[in-house]
Structure 1
Amino acid sequence: MLANSFAFPEIDLSLSISVILALCAIVSPILVAIINNIHHTKIRKLEIQQDQYRNTILHQRDVFENYLKHAGRCIYFADSTALKDYGEFYFAALSYAPAELRGDMITANQLMLQDEWEEATPIIESIATKIHRNPHIM
C-alpha cells in the first residue's frame, strides 16, 4: 500500500527535451564566449611580453652599436666631442654588458683614457666580435 502512495509523477518526454535544449542553447554561447576571452587574454599577454623583449633587445643593440661607433671614432680621431660621446655610451653599454664583455670593456676604457689607442684597438675589435656572436644582443 505504501508503494503506491510514493509514485513518481509522469514527465512528458518532449517537454523535458525541449527544456534541456533551450538551456543548452542559452548556456553554450556564454561558455564559448568565456573560453574565447580567456584564450584571447593569454594570447595578448604573450604578444605584450614578446613586444617588450623585442624592444629591450633593440634598445640594447642600439646602445652597443653606439658604444662601438664612438669607441672607433675615439681610436681614429680622438677629439673632445668624440671622447664625450664615447663616455656617454661606455657606461650605458657597460650596464647592459654580459659578464664576459665587462672585463674587456673596462680594460679598453682604461687604455683609451691613457691615450693608448694602439693597445685598445684589438680589444675593441674583440668586443665587437663578442657582441656580434651574442644572440641576446644582436
Structure 2
Amino acid sequence: MARVPEIPGDQSAASTDVDETDHFCPGCGVRRKLFARYPWYFCTDCLALAEDGEGRRLSFSNAEIFGGFVWRYADDPQLMDDGSTAVICLIRNREAIVHEARFGGIVAEPLNSFSVHLLREEKILRLLRGEVLAGARKRLKPCAPKL
C-alpha cells in the first residue's frame, strides 16, 4: 500500500513511500514481502499444508535445477508426476493453484488470483475429488534415480 506523507504547502511535490511488506498470506494472514507477479501468494508454511480433495498432503518441487514442476504425495515421495504445469488443490480448505514460479521455485495462489490466466489450461491437474482425482493418481510414476 502506498503512503503519501503530509507535506504542508505545495502537494504536487509529495512523494510516495511503498511498503515492500504489504502482503498478507491468504491462508494464515502472516505479513510477507509483496511480489507484483504473485500479489496473493500463500506463505511457505501454508504451502506445506496443501492437500488433495480427500485430505492427503501434497508436496511440490522443481523437476531439476533449471526448473520444471513436480508434485507428489508427502506420504509416498517415491512416486511423482512431472507432466503437468500446475495443480489445483486445497490449502486451508481454500481452492489454490500451485505452479512453478517464473524464475524457479514453487508458488501457490488462491484459484481466482491474477496470474492463473498465464497458465495453459490443458496442463493444469485438478486434485479435488472424484474421477478427476483418481485419474490424477494414475499419472504418478516412480522417481528416477539421481546420478
More helix by share: 1
More strand by share: 2
Higher relative contact order (CA 8 A, sep 6+): 1
| TM-score normalised by L of structure 2 | 0.31
Name which one, 1 or 2, has greater alpha-carbon Rg. Answer: 1
| TM-score normalised by L of structure 1 | 0.32
